[in-house]
Structure 1
Amino acid sequence: MDARLSRMLHLLIHMGRMQGPLTSETAATMLGTNPVVVRRTMAGLREAGYVRSVKGHGGGWSLTCGLESITMLDVHRALGENRIFAFGPADPAPACLVEQAVNESLQGALQEAEALLLQRLADVTLADIADDFERRMAALTPSCS
């Protein structure tokens, strides 16, 4: 399973809550991976204009816009729009008429499901996710009365 979208959403929301830049080393520790993997993955977000990076002491990754300006679809596209589904036709050009019927039915279902998923990704901003996090945190924090 490709978890890059989930992992980058995670990092971007943390970045939106931070006062300063996030180093690749800190991000790698958060994600349980290597700083090189973080830099490689963040490169697509930088090219899309959602983050910037500064080298050297005090440097790191920071957002170029607010979380309300970035959707899950934006991040998905910046990461290279990986295949949504891991399954598909056994033979894309079969001679068997049954296999042709199966492929057409399966392809239609996959196209509909992908369109629905992409629309949902477009409807959710990172600010929406961050707000959900804030609600969850507030529910855990005892109120002082």
Structure 2
Amino acid sequence: MDQKKIGLFLKMLRNEKGLTQEQLAEKLNVSNRSVSRWETGSTLPDISLIIELADYYEVDIKELVEGERKSEIMNKELTETFDKIAEYSIERKKSQLQKDGIFTEILIVIGIIISFTLAKFVADNTAQLIVTLICGWFVWGYGIVLRVKIRKELNELTKR
């Protein structure tokens, strides 16, 4: 529990009701010094007074103890949830891109194999040699283009 936060919340609630510390102290049968200590975060109200304060200010006890209204708590929780979802989504995308990166490396190797190895063994004439080399270079080039795209996307995701 953050006493200062609770104190500021109590002060805000009192001001919303348009009361002075003395008037609130009178309603609760405590000294105005006690109210001052609560609002500065030096001390906290007794548990029985917390219940009474919650009833008087028309807030939940949980809100008093956490020092903020439910909507603020819920917004914070929603923000945290969305942050976790976004983080998970980014990690999942990174993982997929890394898998795609392995695929592009395989494409590059296959392109090299087609270009140099198969060209020697499969091509019987110059036309077949040229077609085999072009196919190999195409696969190799496509692999490199994909590799560059994937690395660029990974760099953008890493910056987030």
Q: TM-score normalised to the size of structure 1? A: 0.30
Q: TM-score normalised to the size of structure 2? A: 0.28
> Which structure's residues are more often helix, by fraction?
2
Q: Which has the larger radius of gyration?
A: 2
> Which structure's residues are more often strand, by fraction?
1
Which gives a bigger RCO, structure 1 or 2 (Cα 8 Å, sep 6+)? 1
